[in-house]
Amino acid sequence: MAGRAPVRAVYPGTFDPVTPGHLDVVNRARGLFDEVVVLVAVNGDKQPGSGEEQRAAAVRAALPAGWTTVTVAAWRGLTADYCRRHGAGVIIRGVRNTTDLQAEQRLAGMNQSLGVPTVFLPARPELAATSSTAARTRGKASA
């Protein structure tokens, strides 16, 4: 596609903690878009174990060094606002199951009305059971 403008995609989430499933979505998004921003967000419906800057640092530490087209940012506000302010043309969302898809479709509709489309990436079968909630639960059990 010679002459097309580079496409920046945003992958938002709380990433509390970042999981192999998250990293897989980022890796696959790298193959689809010129730049991927992992957007560590604040979600009023969730009570993360640490602040967004600490979670962003954890995501940065989890990214392989060779992923030079991936950046990490912390953000308080609507994802669509971040996209408009930073020239991102698309939002990436990973979906593990039909429950995820239904919830994500509602958010995608809202973001589309704000001018930013969403691309869904289905979880690979071996990662579909992976969730931050399960990772936190395992972490507490081993502490």
- For the stretch 40-96, pLDDT in tens is 998 766 676 788 999 999 999 999 999 999 999 999 999 999 999 999 999 999 999
According to CATH, the topology of domain 8-142 is Rossmann fold (3.40.50)
Domain boundaries, the chain: 8-142
Q: How far apart are CA 53 and CA 66, in angstroms?
A: 22
Cβ-contact 115, 48 below 8 angstroms:
no
Q: Cis omega (within 30 of 0) on the bond before 12?
A: no
Output the furthest CA–CA distance in the chain (Å, rounded).
Answer: 53
Cβ-contact 67, 30 below 8 angstroms:
yes
Which pTM value belongs to this model? 0.87
- Please give the torsion angle defined by the CA atoms of residues 68, 69, 70 and 76, in that order, rounded to the nearest 10 degrees: 130
Active site residue 140: no
Active site residue 46: yes
Active site residue 4: no
